[in-house]
Chains A and B, each alone.
Chain A
Amino acid sequence: MPLYRWIRSALRSLFRMERMDRELDEELTSVLGMLVEEKLRSGMAPGEALRQARIELGGREQVKEEVRRQRAGASLESVLRDLRYGWRSLLRRPSFTFTAVLVLGLGIGAPATVLTLVSQIFFVSPEAIAEPGRVVRLTRSFGEGRGGGALGNPDYLFYRERNSTLTGLAAFGGQRAVAFSVGTERHDQLDVLFVSDNFFEVLGVSPPWGRAFLPEENAAPGAHPVVVLNHDFWLRALGGDPDVVGRDLILGGSPYRVIGVGPAGFGSLSPVTPAPDAWVPIATYGALTRAPSLDWWERVPHMKSRWLQGLGRLAPGVTFEAARDNLVALGEALAYDGKSADEGAFLQRQFLYSPALESTLASLSRLLLLVVGIVFLVAVFNAAVLLLARAATRQREIGIRAALGASRGRVVRQLLLETLLLTVLGGVLGLVLAFVLSGLAGSLLPVQFVSEFRPDLRVILVAAGLSLVTALAVGLIPALRTTRRDLRDAFQGVASGPSASWLQRSLVVGQVGLSLVLVAGALLFARSFWVARSLELGFATGDRLVLEVPLVEADLEGEEADVFLRSALERIGAIPGVRQVAATRMIPFQGDWSTEIDAPPGARPNMEGDKVFIGLNAVSPGYFETAGIPVLAGRALQPDDDQGAPPVLVLNETLADALWPGESPLGRTLPLDEGVDIEVVGVVRNAVYYALGEESQPQAYLALGQFPQRTVHFLVHAAGPPRELMPAVQGALREIEPRLVFRWVTTMEAVVEEATARYQVSAVLVSVFSLVALLLAASGLYGTIAFLVAGQTREIGVKMALGADRGRVGRDVLVFGLKLASAGVALGVAGTFAFRRITENLLFGVEPADPLPVAGACLLLMVVAVAAALAPARNATRVDPVEAIRREG
């Protein structure tokens, strides 16, 4: 048949299904009528005539089915027919449909949410970057494939000149706030990122206004003060001034020529770091940060001057592996003082997130995927149980269809389509859930997200794929099973009793087992978080504001810095609502500062080579009080400890014990500063300095007045919520020195929270999902037990009639429930062994093998099982034996 005709007929069939059906019906009725007339004319009795006519015509449905099969587009039409039938069938059982859709929605929504999150964290790249798949990130490896260390500028230049596999290698680093002013009145700050001249080129980003950097602008330190602005910043702070290119901006006190503005939407290189407000050449680093000497540019790299990351673009036709080999080989050839044997180049495909977060994010994502996978399985099992139970009750309906001539394949297909409808509905619900949940997740996760969560096409496809897979997995078995029984069973209806088949039971056991793993995990992570949170930190965390203020960059050095600090502390102290204020160089968990000296006579060394390792800090008077660190012996630092006075220091317990065990350290001296002996005037309580769970660290506190620093943190103890004081404190500081830049403003609580963030997040995530799984498993248990009791009403009746008392019957049901649960629990405990490794670096202070959470989870699940079995058990005791036996079922 010519194609167009076929299409026309097919479309006609589809759209006029109803009408064509009716016409056919009419035709058949008319023919039947004529047959009857025929028979009547030949002398048959009316009843007989009708019967014979019907026999001769044949089964009406079958004829209609035959005709339909002939039509063009028949298969599509029959699929649509099946779908409509399935839809009506689902509507007839609203509670089943609702439950099944909810279960499936949860099961599909959870993975979809996680995939959205993970893909946005790991796979999204800024739109403005050309071919992001060809961009690679170059950092320093610490051996064994553990990379992520920063490069020095000379290293970077070495790789840039010598590589043979990249069309360009750019570098970036050192994002920080610098003072910026327009004219003399307005003082503000903005975030700059230092980049190489080819930064925009390598990324394939072209500023729509002005231009990017030229090679000579990065050639000599400080020679070309130029800046490219971020589009958002340009709009926000400069009012989108169309003449901005060519104007000067005062950055860090000097004029910088604006040469270009970046495209809209381009700023951050990852979803977890904020976008810079402007880009400046690496060559301006020294000037903007007031580096002590400008030979950092050429200096052989050692720890302090490694601050860059490389960003390269693969040359056409070059594979990632080839580039990696090339750069690793170069890394081996790169030689400098202090380079360890394992160090080398580390190349990665994704360049999108900061190395420090990487391992945490990776672990979290793995955990999340696992957890969500488990929930998905539990949901699928649950849905399968529901479908099995439902299918068992449709025996009669299926039997009738078989009797009417439907082939087994046809019935199976229809059942599968019905399941597909369910899972599609579940998939849609799941997507909606994913939208909502991933939006919520932004507030739970500790990282700062620049982009909001949008589900992308991949996620939708995955949700669709999951729906399909689920439909097949969940629908196939019930469909095959119910069509296996022959006609007789079907007509005997439910008398043979839907028993909780072994399949249903195994699925429920599986659900219980999986839930156990999750619940045990949740308890474990919760415990870990609790341990981390209740750790004795040694300093006060509540009501404290922290502000990081760079001094040297504001041209505050020496005497000026001293004067500034004094008036700053005075001014801030005078603000109503401030209980105390102090300044400190170091804040817990943020970086480290330490030194090694030869052990002075009379002191015990605490490391090999007769040396003493000391952690350092420089603080203002009143620091210990403000920070809540008790002074144990001697005194704290005082205002008198300034430049004119002899240098003093305060030790913590660990250092005092290490150097002079059993003796008072007061009055002793340590040669900390180039041979100058510094007197110990006090001992303070230990605290946590660098990381949670660290061993006791030896710490010495110098006086800020005697050892001025380039940057300080102001620690403000507030009488109320610390954030409320932020504007007042910042205002006071700006009053004293308008060119001040605030690099960081937060509360001490937030600082500590960040340190415990990963434990908190894991605990929350696993707990939420384990609750979901637990609910599903509980409902699965309840459903199966109830189903069993309902199906065995007759047996129960018989038992009772034979003398079993009601209590016994109820107990039997409870025991059955407990047996199911125990099997699941046993399975689950075995499962916990398998998942140990995944939890490794997300736990604090607890072992993955800790038996307590597992025991707790077992207990919880057994309790849940009893609860689930209670109602059915009670129903069983209420069975009236006479009724039950009499009923056919």
Chain B
Amino acid sequence: MTPPRTDLLRGTLDMLILRTLSQGPQHGLGLSRLIDAATEGAFQVQPGSLFPSLHRMEEKGWIKGRWGESENRRRAKYYELTPAGRRQLGEERKNWAQLVRAIEKVMDAT
């Protein structure tokens, strides 16, 4: 499946990242693999597309980056959710639900 166009689904990508991180800190590659696995292959986010979002969210203070050691004792940058990030996740979840309901209304109408 072609990777999602960043501009269209950037907000959604953010949400997915936040959600994934809410389950524990991860590094960039790990995030990509987790999202891939969780969506069962429907969302293949290339690591390259993750980085802009990661850094933007880091700037906004939703996630925090920290250098650490990966499973294979390799130096890697891990990201974890901040309290502000957690709040943002809640917001995004709410908005997403509203969006889905609105779309469903349109689709179900005759």
In angstroms, Cα B65 to Cα A31, docked, is 14
Query: What B residues does A69 contact at CB under 8 A?
Result: 52
Question: Given the interface contacts A9-B59, A31-B47, does A67 sit within 8 Å of B52 by beta carbon?
Answer: yes
B interface bracket (residues with beta carbon within 8 Å of A): 20 to 34
Of all chain A residues, the one with the shortest Cβ separation from B10 is A70
Task: Indicate if A62 sits at the interface (CB-CB under 8 A).
Answer: yes
In angstroms, Cα B47 to Cα A30, docked, is 12
In angstroms, Cα B46 to Cα A70, docked, is 17
Contact A35 B28 (CB under 8 A): no
Contact B28 A37 (CB under 8 A): no
The digit string for B75-110, where 1 denotes a CB below 8 A from any CB of A, is: 111000000000000000000000000000000000
Question: Given the interface contacts A5-B61, A71-B59, does A31 sit within 8 Å of B52 by beta carbon?
Answer: no
Choose one: B52, B55, B75; the contact of A30 (CB below 8 Å).
Answer: B75
Task: Indicate if B2 sits at the interface (CB-CB under 8 A).
Answer: no
Choose one: B47, B70, B77; the contact of A56 (CB below 8 Å).
Answer: B47
**Distance in Å: Cβ of A798 to nearest Cβ of chain B:** 49
Query: What B residues does A59 contact at CB under 8 A?
Result: 48
Task: Indicate if A91 sits at the interface (CB-CB under 8 A).
Answer: no
Contact A34 B51 (CB under 8 A): no
Contact A35 B55 (CB under 8 A): no
Contact B48 A1 (CB under 8 A): no
Contact A31 B55 (CB under 8 A): no
Query: What B residues does A67 contact at CB under 8 A?
Result: 51-52, 55
Contact A71 B29 (CB under 8 A): no
Choose one: B51, B75, B76; the contact of A63 (CB below 8 Å).
Answer: B51
Task: Indicate if A57 sits at the interface (CB-CB under 8 A).
Answer: yes
Choose one: A1, A30, A35, A63; the contact of B77 (CB below 8 Å).
Answer: A30
Query: What B residues does A35 contact at CB under 8 A?
Result: 29, 47
**Distance in Å: Cβ of B7 to nearest Cβ of chain A:** 12
Contact A27 B48 (CB under 8 A): no
Task: Indicate if A72 sits at the interface (CB-CB under 8 A).
Answer: yes
Contact B59 A72 (CB under 8 A): yes
Task: Indicate if B74 sits at the interface (CB-CB under 8 A).
Answer: yes
Contact B46 A58 (CB under 8 A): yes
Task: Indicate if A66 sits at the interface (CB-CB under 8 A).
Answer: yes
Choose one: B28, B53, B61; the contact of A31 (CB below 8 Å).
Answer: B28
In angstroms, Cα B30 to Cα A30, docked, is 12
Contact A31 B72 (CB under 8 A): no
Of all chain A residues, the one with the shortest Cβ separation from B57 is A70
Of all chain B residues, the one with the shortest Cβ separation from A58 is B48
Question: Given the interface contacts A34-B29, A34-B70, does A63 sit within 8 Å of B48 by beta carbon?
Answer: yes
Task: Indicate if A856 sits at the interface (CB-CB under 8 A).
Answer: no
A interface bracket (residues with beta carbon within 8 Å of B): 20 to 34
Task: Indicate if A33 sits at the interface (CB-CB under 8 A).
Answer: yes
Query: What A residues does B59 contact at CB under 8 A?
Result: 1, 5, 9, 70-72
Please provide the chain B residues from 45 to 72 with a CB less than 8 Å away from any CB of chain A in the complex: 46-49, 51-53, 55-56, 59-61, 70, 72
Query: What B residues does A26 contact at CB under 8 A?
Result: 75, 77
Contact A70 B77 (CB under 8 A): no
Task: Indicate if B19 sits at the interface (CB-CB under 8 A).
Answer: no
The digit string for B27-51, where 1 denotes a CB below 8 A from any CB of A, is: 1110000000000000000111101
**Distance in Å: Cβ of A635 to nearest Cβ of chain B:** 105
Query: What B residues does A37 contact at CB under 8 A?
Result: 72, 74
Contact A30 B72 (CB under 8 A): no
Contact B76 A31 (CB under 8 A): yes
Contact B76 A30 (CB under 8 A): yes
Please provide the chain A residues from 1 to 47 with a CB less than 8 Å away from any CB of chain B in the complex: 1, 5, 9, 23-24, 26-28, 30-31, 33-35, 37-38
Query: What A residues does B61 contact at CB under 8 A?
Result: 5
Query: What B residues does A9 contact at CB under 8 A?
Result: 59
Query: What B residues does A63 contact at CB under 8 A?
Result: 48, 51-52
Query: What A residues does B49 contact at CB under 8 A?
Result: 58
Choose one: A34, A38, A56, A57; the contact of B76 (CB below 8 Å).
Answer: A34
Of all chain B residues, the one with the shortest Cβ separation from A29 is B75
**Distance in Å: Cβ of B4 to nearest Cβ of chain A:** 15
Question: Given the interface contacts A30-B74, A31-B28, does A66 sit within 8 Å of B52 by beta carbon?
Answer: yes
Please provide the chain A residues from 66 to 115 with a CB less than 8 Å away from any CB of chain B in the complex: 66-67, 69-72
Contact A34 B74 (CB under 8 A): yes
Query: What A residues does B72 contact at CB under 8 A?
Result: 34, 37
Contact B60 A31 (CB under 8 A): no
In angstroms, Cα B56 to Cα A845, docked, is 77
**Distance in Å: Cβ of A103 to nearest Cβ of chain B:** 43
Query: What B residues does A34 contact at CB under 8 A?
Result: 27, 29, 70, 72, 74, 76
Query: What A residues does B51 contact at CB under 8 A?
Result: 24, 27-28, 63, 66-67
Contact A57 B48 (CB under 8 A): yes
The digit string for A48-62, where 1 denotes a CB below 8 A from any CB of B, is: 000000001111001
In angstroms, Cα B57 to Cα A1, docked, is 11
Query: What B residues does A58 contact at CB under 8 A?
Result: 46-49
Query: What A residues does B53 contact at CB under 8 A?
Result: 70
Of all chain B residues, the one with the shortest Cβ separation from A23 is B77
In angstroms, Cα B60 to Cα A67, docked, is 14
**Distance in Å: Cβ of A669 to nearest Cβ of chain B:** 108
Contact B27 A31 (CB under 8 A): yes
Of all chain A residues, the one with the shortest Cβ separation from B75 is A30
Among A1, A37, A56, A70, residue most surrounded by chain B Cβ atoms (within 10 Å): A70
In angstroms, Cα B52 to Cα A270, docked, is 65
The digit string for A366-406, where 1 denotes a CB below 8 A from any CB of B, is: 00000000000000000000000000000000000000000
**Distance in Å: Cβ of A8 to nearest Cβ of chain B:** 9
Contact B77 A27 (CB under 8 A): yes
The digit string for A126-142, where 1 denotes a CB below 8 A from any CB of B, is: 00000000000000000
Query: What A residues does B27 contact at CB under 8 A?
Result: 30-31, 34
Contact B60 A1 (CB under 8 A): yes
Contact A57 B52 (CB under 8 A): no
Query: What B residues does A62 contact at CB under 8 A?
Result: 48
Of all chain B residues, the one with the shortest Cβ separation from A8 is B59
Contact A70 B28 (CB under 8 A): no
Query: What A residues does B77 contact at CB under 8 A?
Result: 23, 26-27, 30
Of all chain B residues, the one with the shortest Cβ separation from A38 is B29
Question: Given the interface contacts A58-B46, A72-B59, does A27 sit within 8 Å of B28 by beta carbon?
Answer: yes
Query: What B residues does A70 contact at CB under 8 A?
Result: 52-53, 55-56, 59
Contact B46 A33 (CB under 8 A): no
**Distance in Å: Cβ of A715 to nearest Cβ of chain B:** 87
**Distance in Å: Cβ of B69 to nearest Cβ of chain A:** 10
Contact B55 A71 (CB under 8 A): yes
Among B29, B56, B76, residue most surrounded by chain A Cβ atoms (within 10 Å): B29
Query: What B residues does A27 contact at CB under 8 A?
Result: 28, 51, 76-77
Known: A56-B47, A58-B46. 13 other contacts (CB 8 A): A1-B59, A5-B59, A27-B77, A31-B28, A34-B29, A34-B76, A58-B47, A63-B48, A66-B51, A66-B52, A69-B52, A71-B56, A72-B59
4 pairs of A and B residues whose beta carbons are closest in the complex? A58-B48, A70-B56, A66-B52, A63-B48
User: Which residues of chain A have a CB within 8 Å of any CB of chain B?
Assistant: 1, 5, 9, 23-24, 26-28, 30-31, 33-35, 37-38, 56-59, 62-63, 66-67, 69-72
21 contacts between A and B (CB under 8 A): A1-B60, A27-B28, A27-B51, A31-B28, A33-B74, A34-B72, A35-B29, A37-B72, A37-B74, A58-B48, A59-B48, A62-B48, A63-B48, A66-B48, A67-B52, A69-B52, A70-B52, A70-B53, A70-B55, A70-B56, A72-B59
User: Which residues of chain B have a CB within 8 Å of any CB of chain A?
Assistant: 27-29, 46-49, 51-53, 55-56, 59-61, 70, 72, 74-77
